[in-house]
Amino acid sequence: MESYQPSPKPISKRVVAYVASAVVAAGTLGGYAVHEHRVAQNLTTQNQQTDAALNATRNQVDDLTAKVNTLAAQAQQAQSQQHAARAKATSHVAATSRRTDSAKLKKMQAQIDAQNKAIEDTRNDLTTTQGDLSSTKTELTGSIARTHDQLVLLQKKGERTYYEFDIDRSKQFSHNGPFGVRLKKANTKHQYADLELLVDDRSLSQKHVNLYQPVMFYTPDIPQPVELVINSITKDHIHGYVSAPRYRQSELASMSNANANSAPDAGATSANSATAATNRQKLPAPQ
């Protein structure tokens, strides 16, 4: 006798819908993971490029410092020789000897002047290189955002407030953050813009602001400079952002005084400390 086997029950539509939703969610998470992996790879590449650029610039600074030290030693030696030659010239009585020593002194003085000029030029080069090193470090360590995604990453650090803008050429100011901005000229061929800024009711002209070149200045009651960066220049239009410190100097002073006044007494119990920690609220993450 054949055994009886029940026929399989049909799969309900609700189960099919759940399975389909799970497949869609898995695909979305997979795409997001691929995107995050690419972003991580790009950040790794940028960090490697940053390290290489900083190392090369440090080598240049070391070379220039060595040149300055060498030239300074040569100049000191030449001055010692000059003093010795002058002392020798003083002891000579004959006019011929005086003329000969005078010619030597003139020649030596010319050499010293040339060496001093070389030292000054080298020091200027060293100062310029150090400035370039500082600018390169500022740019490559991520304080300048070239894209919207990089701006979002800087915003999430919570150290500064960022105001993204799109400004057309106009006679009116567009107010972004702590000041107003007016676009006077946008040069798409050479990628620079002429701007006029309205800071504390004062008009400031900024000509030839290049792409990704931060315009930095200080305003009253702000401890760190305010920055304006342009990361896109098209015909009669610019796109960029304004970066300002999150807190003003007066706000920092107020918070410091509040913390000092609210400090617990020496005899406070651990139970009160635990209660205060429980009542503490977590600040929302920047949007």
CA separation for the pair 106, 95 (Å, rounded): 16
- Identify the domain containing residue 130 by its residue range: 49-143
pLDDT over 70 percentage in the chain: 64
Instruction: State mean pLDDT over 110-132.
Output: 77
Q: What is the pLDDT of residue 43?
A: 77
Long-range contacts of 207-216 (CB under 8 A, 24+ apart): 212/139, 212/144, 212/146, 214/138, 214/144
- Residues 219 and 188 placed together within one structural domain of the fold: yes
| Euclidean distance between CA atoms 57 and 52, whole angstroms | 9
Mark whether 163 and 137 lie in a shared domain. no
pLDDT digits (tens, 9 = 90+) for 228-287: 999 999 999 999 999 888 776 666 666 667 766 665 554 444 444 444 433 434 434 444
Do 95 and 175 sit in the same domain of this protein? no
Question: Both 114 and 189 in a single domain?
Answer: no
Residue 206 in domain: yes
pLDDT digits (tens, 9 = 90+) for 7-27: 555 556 676 676 677 766 666
**241 backbone φψ class: left, alpha, beta (φ>0; ψ -120 to 50):** beta
The Cα–Cα gap between 232 and 191 comes to: 8
Cβ pair 231, 211 in contact under 8 A: yes
**Average pLDDT of the residues of the chain:** 75
Two tokens, residue 262: 């609210």
Whether 166 and 123 map to the same domain: the answer is no
Domain-embedded: residue 260: no
165 beta partners = 240
CA distances to 6, 50, 108, 138, 193 from 135, in Å: 78, 12, 40, 5, 20
> Domain total for the chain?
2
Q: Is residue 122 part of a domain?
A: yes
Give yes or no: residues 116 and 190 share one domain. no
Identify whether residues 187 and 120 lie together within a single domain. Answer: no
Residues 123 and 166 in one domain: no
In a domain, 95, yes or no: yes
Boundary-marking domain end, from 143, 167, 185: 143
pLDDT digits (tens, 9 = 90+) for 84-100: 877 776 766 566 667 77
Flag whether pLDDT at 115 surpasses 70. Answer: yes
Encode pLDDT of 52-85 as tens digits: 888 888 888 888 888 888 888 888 888 888 888 7
Instruction: Specify the amino acid at residue 231.
Output: N
Question: Do 170 and 105 sit in the same domain of this protein?
Answer: no
Q: Which of 143, 178, 212 is the last residue before a domain boundary?
A: 143
Q: What is the largest CA-CA distance in the chain?
A: 147
Instruction: Give the 3-state secondary structure of residue 17.
Output: helix
Q: What 3-state DSSP class applies to 195?
A: strand
- Single pTM value for the model: 0.39
Domain end among 143, 172, 189: 143
> Does residue 230 form part of some domain?
yes
Within a domain: 198 = yes
